[in-house]
Amino acid sequence: MNNQKLAVVDLGTNTFHLVIANNANARFEIEHREKFAVRLGAGGINSSYIGHDARQRAKTTLHTIEEKLNEYHISNPHIFATSAIRTATNREEVLLMVEDILGSKVRILSGEEEARFIYEGVKTALDLGEENSLIMDIGGGSVEFVIGNNKEISWLRSFEIGAQRLLDLFHKNDPILKEEIASINKYLEEQLSELKEALNHYLPRDLVGSSGTFDTLSEIYQIHSDLIQDGPELPITLLAFEEIHRDLLAKDRNQRLATPGMIEMRVDMIVVASILIHHIVSNFAFGRMRVSSYALKEGLVSSLFNGNNDLLQ
């Protein structure tokens, strides 16, 4: 696909993303990016059902995306769906709504496909080097883990333990109770045994978080340390994460929302997401934490421009 413009629509569990890019130069360039807090999984994700209110929020957002596509003269967006739609019993109803508004078929990504494209996005954003890193992407419905370096993937898995699922299952009080934190950690211990075996086998040096929660953690860190930086790789340290994590656990929703760097679409899920990250860093000795602002959607854009035949079908 040479000298073309394309749009990727990522129908995530918590957020819909629109990315419009061109490949006029050697690397693709993003002309427009936008994210929308849809909360598709709110209230029904653990029962595998997308509720009426969530469908209405999605419909409104899709019309906004349609307007933006028309503005950029794109009539055939590449549309991808992940965990919430992937596991929903009423996914056909949702897919028909999307396809009717945006005019393109929706490709539902498997968890493994999602992980592979996240890896492609992260690899585009930053130099992973020759040593293994653990790439971690926390969605509302699923969490993807990839162990790999700049050349290849050694191991990957997708787990249906995303932040919306954890929020609905465990976070009943605000600030969160110690008993709820303990329940989350017990649950993660049970769910992530495969990951821990892989960590001990492949010995990744760095933890690389991609987009979402990690973007917000970096934003909080940057404002607190007066270190404002923008780009594909965003700054954070393991020590800074520990301090932010402790602070998040002690606050209620209003206090979290008042935290410089916090955005409203993250304020509810960031506590359980932070507990998940803390669970990982507490069980394995990473050398550093890095944040990639590129993730699934950029990996999809890169793969489309590079002629990934599976995506072009």
Residue 237 belongs to domain with CATH number = 3.30.420.150
Identify whether residues 63 and 84 lie together within a single domain. yes
Mean pLDDT value across residues 52-63: 97
Identify whether residues 52 and 81 lie together within a single domain. yes
Q: Please give the Cα distance from 236 to 289 (Å, whole number).
A: 7
Please state the separation of Cα 32 from the chain's center in Å: 18
The confidence score (pLDDT) of residue 157 equals 98
Q: 108, 137, 164: which is the final residue of a domain?
A: 108
Identify whether residues 170 and 76 lie together within a single domain. no
In a domain, 248, yes or no: yes
In a domain, 158, yes or no: yes
Q: What is the CATH number of the domain that holds 68?
A: 3.30.420.40
The confidence score (pLDDT) of residue 309 equals 56
Name the band, by pLDDT with cuts 50, 70 and 90, for residue 1: very low
In a domain, 303, yes or no: no
Name the domain count of the chain.
2
Identify whether residues 68 and 140 lie together within a single domain. no
Identify whether residues 260 and 132 lie together within a single domain. yes
In a domain, 298, yes or no: no
Identify whether residues 63 and 206 lie together within a single domain. no
In a domain, 310, yes or no: no
pLDDT tens string 195-217: 999 999 999 999 999 988 999 99
Q: Please give the Cα distance from 69 to 229 (Å, whole number).
A: 29
In a domain, 301, yes or no: no
Identify whether residues 139 and 276 lie together within a single domain. yes
Instruction: Give yes or no for residue 62 having a pLDDT over 60.
Output: yes
User: For residue 291, which of 219, 225, 229, 218 has the smallest C-alpha distance?
Assistant: 218
Identify whether residues 89 and 198 lie together within a single domain. no
Q: Which domain holds residue 62?
A: 5-108
Identify whether residues 15 and 75 lie together within a single domain. yes
Name the band, by pLDDT with cuts 50, 70 and 90, for residue 313: very low
The confidence score (pLDDT) of residue 44 equals 82
Identify whether residues 143 and 286 lie together within a single domain. yes
Identify whether residues 101 and 192 lie together within a single domain. no
Phi, psi of 58 (to 5 degrees): -65, -45
In a domain, 163, yes or no: yes
Q: Count other C-beta atoms under 10 Å from residue 266's C-beta.
A: 23
pTM (two decimals):
0.94
Q: Please give the Cα distance from 52 to 60 (Å, whole number).
A: 13
In a domain, 121, yes or no: yes
Taking all residues of the chain, what is their mean pLDDT, rounded to a whole number? 94
pLDDT tens string 90-135: 999 999 999 999 999 999 999 999 999 999 999 999 999 999 999 9
Identify whether residues 119 and 73 lie together within a single domain. no
**Residue 289 per-residue DSSP state:** E
